[in-house]
Structure 1
């Protein structure tokens, strides 16, 4: 079985092709958390978008049409329902540098808590980048200090009364991976994983810059291996 450093190298290698020096920097999409979606739907101005006149169903790009059709199915029976009002507007997307308003196709069916939001396929082809086969999965947001090198890495781990954490940091020219390392405090072997938000503070060997912060997700061989993480500044804006 590969060692942790080998896992880190494998994950980092998935981002070797990231065009880190391209201007503007390519958009790296991450997963929108439930809390963010709830805040979104509490915004009356945002919800009013879905009452505006829509566009014809025939305009829906073929790349996203199947997902839109599936999204409008009845949640109980799975029966097909007509598409909801299709809106073309800038919509919110989670990226590795914070939430951004980007060209989108959107609907909000009556039987759904949150809207359907799909990035415009042509815009995604031109402006976004992600390694083939890698999927985004929600992860706690990390914070980069104003010096560009001090990173507060947040994650879900063992509660503070049972363990402390150190960290191992792996870096390439295109990506950074932080691996929290658990330090047992009481020596009795108790582990309550995934129970509390924790954080470790690390100093990078070089400024993060345009590089992508990633994690190992569900491990090698899974679509989340090498998944990107959102990095914010102390003001809450993208790094």
Structure 2
């Protein structure tokens, strides 16, 4: 089913102000600073970050203090607790160009499975960019070929037994690209449908190299606060 051009326009319009020619390119977080916990579970090298020296709690930026205090509350009762040991180091963050190590404030008490890792507010102000009012949603990783234009777009779609995706609609502006796979229903096997979604992909060729532009998608559709959310793009030289 084809999407209406107005839906694509709404998604792309949110990135009209993206400073695509700025050097270095602004960081676009795909999870708004929240870590991809499955990545941390698969790669535990982040634990070595906490071998660094302590930082006095008085030096913590006020912008992240409420989140830090919430993290240190008792997990059962919610009662306030003392701040855990605080360090500063480069921590892992999910971006639209893959996992990156960025300046962060971190805590990792012994009774927690996952660390508190907050992007440094000063770095966020100077080096990141995000459309006002947009909420992150989904983060499948697409692959860009060495020519900069051939994109293997990965998404969650109808299982192969029930639909095919032979093509996709591509909408491009100077700052963003939107790819919408075209679904063709199949008869499918009879009986009970056991799978409702699976990872699919479609290969498209962009009219111009992706460059610093942002790959976006419709997410929950036009009018939603996730319409235009960014997607991750990896290259063969950066496998992620």
Cα separation, 2, equivalents of 1:73 and 1:223: 30
Unaligned runs of 5+ in 1: none
The worse-fitting range, judged by mean Cα deviation, of 218-227 and 101-110 is 218-227
1:34 has 2:37 as partner: yes
Cα separation, 1, equivalents of 2:130 and 2:4: 23
The answer to whether the 8 Å contact 1:157/1:197 transfers is yes
**Residue 69 of structure 1, CA deviation:** 0.9
SS of the residue corresponding to residue 207 of structure 1 reads coil
TM-score, normalising length from structure 2?
A: 0.89
1:86 has 2:95 as partner: no
Cα separation, 2, equivalents of 1:19 and 1:109: 39
Unaligned runs of 5+ in 2: none
Q: Which residue of 2 aligns with 1:197?
A: 199
1:229 has 2:231 as partner: yes
- Deviation by residue 1:73-101 (Cα, 9 ceiling, x = unmatched): 22222111211111101111111111111
Cα separation, 1, equivalents of 2:188 and 2:49: 55
1:25 has 2:33 as partner: no
Cα separation, 1, equivalents of 2:52 and 2:149: 45
Q: Which residue of 1 aligns with 2:177?
A: 176
TM-score, normalising length from structure 1?
A: 0.89
1:101 has 2:101 as partner: yes
SS of the residue corresponding to residue 58 of structure 2 reads helix
The answer to whether the 8 Å contact 1:157/1:193 transfers is no
The answer to whether the 8 Å contact 1:153/1:201 transfers is yes
**Residue 233 of structure 1, CA deviation:** 0.8
**Residue 220 of structure 1, CA deviation:** 3.4
- Deviation by residue 1:35-54 (Cα, 9 ceiling, x = unmatched): 212123x22xx313324331
Q: Which residue of 2 aligns with 1:208?
A: 210
